[in-house]
Each structure stands twice: as structure tokens, then as C-alpha cells.
Chains A and B, each alone.
Chain A
Amino acid sequence: MLSATDLVVRLGSVTAVDGVTLSVERGEMVALVGPNGAGKTTLVKALAGLVRPASGTIAVEGRLAYVPEGRHLFYDLSVEDNLSLGAWRGRDRNPKRIYEVLPGLAGLARRRAGTLSGGQQQMVAVGRALMADPEILMVDELSLGLAPIVVSDLADHLASLHQRHGLALLLIEQNARLAFDLCSRAYVLENGHIVASGSSAELERSEQVRRAYLGVGSTPSKVRSREGDSSESARRDGSA
């Protein structure tokens, strides 16, 4: 439903994405992990059509929405307006349906987006993307600057959307643990190249990935226990 072949994206003299091939199937949850500066953000921007690739092809079937890195809300507009603008290309501008999915937003409808906390803002960003009634959602850095509890809450929401509406997800995450737990499949991007890919379980077992992304030796169980329960169930839901 979303695929890129041999994608190359240049930003000035930097080749940020260098020959990437990836795909997300209908109803699938896929993670994209990698170190800072790997080119993840550039890759999703290209997939969202916001950056023109130098070469390669992108194929999108179905409606696609995008939660950009750093949220990028319309800070001087109300939450309600932010949400309804998410439907710019869609038909239904009424944010009511989002309040059913993300009930926390209903009470904030009249607040100015700039006055919300980071977690609330991220919720609005996700809600705004959902207003486009996407079949596939790309989320760049779900957990950026958020408390673990908020992150697992958001992850729960995404998992249930996936489960109930068959939403496909491409999730970019610094927190590889969370990404692997939530998604059934993952890509590892380094220096603009895909260096590893496969099912989350496979990748979690790979020595290389464990050392670089899961902090092997430094008690992964502790990390797990912090976000553990909810994301675990999310994954099980996802693969069901």
C-alpha cells in the first residue's frame, strides 16, 4: 500500500536517503529505527510528498497522513481548528469522530494549541492526521519529549486504531524497544541505507541490533518493565 524503491533524497550537498527500498502492506504496522541523522525524517517527508526525491519511485495506494517530527501544530489556533484543518483534503471536517478515538481531546477543544502540554500536543497532532481518514499513518518520533506513560497511552491508541479500523502504520522511533513492541516488522536505517530489516522478533534477536538499539547488557528488562504491559498487549493485538 506504501512502497519506495531505490529512493535517493538529497538535501543540498547531503545525501540523506541513499537507495532505500521499503514497503508497508495494508493493515500492517512497521517500525523504522535508526540513530540521529540517519535520514528517517527525510525519508518520511519524501514519502509524504513534502520533499522531492532525486531518484527512485514512491507508490502510495489509499489515503496517507503524517504526524511530523516535533508536532508542528497551528499553535495560535484552537485544538478544534487544528483538527478540522487536518481534513483539508478530506470531506468530513467535523472533529467529533476524533473525540471518540482520542477522548482526551474533547475537553481541550477550545484551548489554543500553543498552550497545551507536550503530550496533549502530540495527541492533537495524531488527531489532526486522523482527520484525513487515513488508511496509512506515518508518525515521526511518537515519543519525542514525552513521559513514558503518555507514550504508552498514545501507542495504545494507535494499536486500537489498527485493530478496529485496519489502520496501517509506519512508526519512526528513537525508542527501539517501543517500536519493536508495537510493530510486527521493522527497518533499521543508518546513514541513509537500510542496514537491517525483518520481523521485530528477528531483529530483537539480532546481536547487532541489540547492541546498537536495545542496549544489550544494560538490562533490557528494566526498559521493558517501564512501558511493558501496554505495548506488549499492543503487539499481540497487532498480530492477531
Chain B
Amino acid sequence: MSALVEYLISGVAIGCGFALVGSGFVAIFRVTEVINFAQGTFAVVAGFVAYSGLTSAGAPQGVAEALGVLAAGALGLAFGGAAIGRKHTSPLASLVITLGLAVTAYAGEIAIWGDQPISFSGLQGDFVLAGAHLLRQYLLVIGVALLVLLGLGVFFTRTYLGKGMTACASNRFAAEVVGISVRRMGLLSFALGGLLGGFAGVLLIPIQPLSFNSDIDLAISGFAAAIFGGLRSFEMALVGGLVLGVAESLVGGYVQASYETVVALGGMLLLMLWQARRRVELA
């Protein structure tokens, strides 16, 4: 029983991280139709920057994480500039560009932080729930992720800027007609994607050490979460992240840790195929 609770809670926490990465995919895709392959990079860079902030710069906990998230946002903006800054770049060409950026980022990350996994301790201590000893950090991850996603929802549905971005997603020509610059909104969405990835990074790194090439796993998991809502729905990305996180955690706990990825990837493949099938039927 206590094992189950532990797997569930840790799964939910990890799943919230996936949901954050996935929301980054959604934020960017809705506005630009680009899949940002470098979505995992944002998380890794944010985690690393926070680590440097804590260790080298001596920044207090909280401030260091905030710096990491902001750095990821700035990186998102820069990547967006490369991916969609030039006119007539097709969405798939943009995907290949972001793939290139992610690989280029490896070089920078290795140069600055080396090629070994990095971690730092987040919220200290643990708590007991139904007999299970759980890290307090899990609660922090879940709480912050939900708050961030809630804020994201408010931003898109309640603020004028957010509605402008939704408008680009809804009908890009019409957006141009009313004078919204779709390209500028696209850059903004990349910055937003960077922030979301950054949150995932600084929240997850105390639980799961990150190394420069952790971005692939994060990106794949986030993409799988985002696919739940057809890359367009933040709510479904949250659901997808939670399902994925819990499933991985249960498989890792009860079957074998090394099958986690197979389950996640296989699930994502099946989901995509099912969606493609449904599209055929609906069409």
C-alpha cells in the first residue's frame, strides 16, 4: 500500500513536469504550427543555470530557480528567432532547425557545465502519507506546476495579449487582418515555451539529475503528453503528463525500471496512430 502511494505521488510529480514541457510544445505549436524539438533543452538549461546560481553565484534558493526559468525564456526567444524569424520557413524546416539548435546547445552545455549529470537539492525533507515516506519536493513540483498551468490558462483566456495569441492559433490570416503580427506572437510563444520548459527543469532536477542530453527524454515525454490533446489543448497536456508519469512510475515500480521508456514511447506511438486513424474516420 505504502509502495503504491509512493509510486502514485512520485508519478504525479514527474507527470506534472512532463505536463509543463508538453504545455511548452502546445504553446508554441498553437501559434506557429512548429514542433519545437528543443523543448527539452529549455528544461536542462534552466536546471543548469539554477545550479550555477546556487553553487557559484551563491544565490538563495528560489532566486536561483527564477534565474534558471528566465534564462530558459530568453533562450526560447532566441531559438524562436532562428526557427521562425525568417519568412517562408516551413513548419517542418523549423522543426529541423530546432533539432539543430538542441544539438548545438549540447556543445554550450558541455562547455559550461561539463558532461556529467547535475542535481541539487530542492525542498528538504519528506512527509508521511498513508505510511509512505515522500519527498517534500514532490509537493512543491505538483503545486508549482498546477499554479503555472493555471496561470497559463488565465493568460490565454482572460488577457488581451493571450487572446491575441489564441487568435493567431485560431485563424492566422484573420489575425493579420486585424493587425496582429503573427510572427511576433510566434516569438512570444517561443519565449513562453522556454519559460514552461524552464519551470519543468528547475522543478525536476532535484528529483532526477539532468545531464546535457536529458533533453531528448524530456522532449519525448513532453511531446507524448502534448499529443494527448492533439498538441492544441493545455488541459489535455496536463492529463497526458499525469497519465504518462503515473504509468511510468508504476511500471518502474512493479515491473522493471528499464521498461519505463518502452511503455511511455509505445503509449505515445499507439496514441498517435489511434488519432491518425480517427482522423481518417472523421474525415
A residues whose Cβ falls under 8 Å from a Cβ of B: 48, 50, 66, 68, 72-77, 81, 84-86, 88-89, 93, 128, 132
Contacts and interface: CB of A to CB of B under 8 A. Distances in A.
**Size category of the binding interface on chain B:** 10 to 19
B179 A74 contact: no
Interface in B117-165: 160, 163-164
A86 B171 contact: no
Main secondary structure of the interface of A (DSSP, over half): loop
A85 B164 contact: yes
Given A74-B166, A77-B163, A93-B160, A88 B173 contact: no
Main secondary structure of the interface of B (DSSP, over half): helix
A77 B166 contact: yes
Given A86-B178, A89-B179, A132-B178, A77 B167 contact: yes
B174 interface: yes
B93 to A, nearest CB: 19
9 nearest interchain CB pairs?
A: A72-B174, A89-B179, A74-B170, A88-B179, A74-B167, A88-B178, A76-B170, A88-B180, A85-B167
Nearest to B160: A93
A74 B180 contact: no
Interface in B167-198: 167, 170-171, 173-180
12 contacts: A50-B173, A50-B177, A68-B174, A68-B177, A73-B174, A74-B174, A77-B167, A85-B164, A85-B180, A86-B178, A88-B180, A132-B178
Contacts of A84: 160, 163
B170 to A, nearest CB: 4
Nearest to B168: A74
A24 B176 CA distance: 23
Contacts of A50: 173, 176-177
A85 B164 CA distance: 7
A11 to B, nearest CB: 14
Interface string B191-219: 00000000000000000000000000000
B173 A68 contact: yes
